[in-house]
């Protein structure tokens, strides 16, 4: 599902900045994390782990987009 993100910054982690965004036609609020790509293999492993993880204390991963020009506006 497509998502958008705003300039509204929610926080910052070791691998990137997290922005407030929305997803889909109903604009469901989501957090958008823009990763600074360090190691593609590590990123892919984290993505796979998050996709398979379901826990009430862990955010759900909905989408991953690979685009070096992607910016939150």
Ligand X SMILES: Nc1ncnc2c1ncn2[C@@H]1O[C@H](COP(=O)(O)OP(=O)(O)OP(=O)(O)O)[C@@H](O)[C@H]1O
12 in Cβ contact with 18 (< 8 Å):
yes
20 among annotated binding-site residues: no
10 binding ligand X? (CB under 6 A): yes
For 7, half-sphere exposure in the C-beta direction (CA atoms, 13 angstrom radius) is 1
13 binding ligand X? (CB under 6 A): yes
- Of the candidates 2, 7, 8, 11, which one interacts with ligand X according to CB under 6 A? 11
Point out the residue whose Cβ comes nearest to ligand X: 13
Report the first-to-last Cα separation within the chain, whole angstroms.
19
- Interface residue list for ligand X (CB under 6 A): 10-16, 18, 31, 33, 59
């Amino acid at each position: 599902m497509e998502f958008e993100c705003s300039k509204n910054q929610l926080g910052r982690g070791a691998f990137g900045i997290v922005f407030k965004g929305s997803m889909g036609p109903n604009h469901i609020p989501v957090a958008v994390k823009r990763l600074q790509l360090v190691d593609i293999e590590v990123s892919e492993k984290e993505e796979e782990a998050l996709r398979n993880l379901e826990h009430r204390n862990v955010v759900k991963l909905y989408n991953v987009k690979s685009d070096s020009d992607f910016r939150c506006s």
